[in-house]
Amino acid sequence: MAGESETASWRSELAKVDVWYASFGSNMWKPRFLCYIQGGQAAGMKKACVGAMDKTPPKETTWRTFPNRLFFGRESTVTWGKGGSAFLNPLTSPSDQSHMCFYRITLEQFNDVLFQENGMKVDSETPLFDLSALQLVQNNGSIPLAKSGWYGNVVCVGKESGIPILTMTCTLSVLEKFISGEVPLRPPAKAYANSLVMGLVEGGRLSEEEAWAYIDNAASKPL
């Protein structure tokens, strides 16, 4: 029972705080992102998501571009099959531009997205990213998580309406492995790339032709 009350305690605390979760990958497509919140699977997905404990949809959605490089790496994913997964270079560069869709959700929901992105169970007695981490990431720009999978680096890319904008990507040490070739760069699976395209098109950011060119460029340009 102690575990249950501890879990309820961190969840009720973080449910009071809003953040923007900024997506640069398949979560730009809202039906796919809602799988992480409400459970289920969208077109092209090979595996269903459990969803967040709080299944309330995002309060708001908006878009912006950032001077960070989008790229695709690793051999395959459980959700989409063979092909690379989207990552964002946590370091900015004036020559790079990436489209990002922001969802306004609670910090509790952000933790549940983090758990799922990193292949972890959502019914944890402790959060991956608490209030002190939220303060720290705003000061430092990024924080590597103590335990995680592929998306073990939470990055604060700024604020919108006074609310921190958070995204998740690889750590700088893994980025070095992508650059050296120790961890492979791979173009995305067609179904996975299609989810990014649908997000960009339905979000009114790019035409379908422009969206495919954007993905192809990110997948083919060396790091």
Residue 7 pLDDT: 64
pLDDT of residue 2: 42
> For residue 6, what pLDDT is reported?
59
Using DSSP, state whether 93 is helix, strand or coil.
coil
Q: Does domain 14-220 have CATH number 3.40.50.300?
A: no
- Give the pairing type, strands 18-23 and 163-169: parallel
pLDDT tens per residue, range 139-175: 999 999 988 889 999 999 999 999 999 999 999 999 9
pLDDT tens figures, 47-73? 999 999 999 999 999 999 999 999 999
pLDDT (tens digit per residue) in 167-198: 999 999 999 999 999 999 999 999 999 999 99
Token pair of 30 as six digits:
């809202």
Model pTM score:
0.94
Max Cα distance, the chain (Å): 54
Helices (H), the chain: 2-14, 30-38, 107-117, 131-140, 172-180, 190-202, 208-220
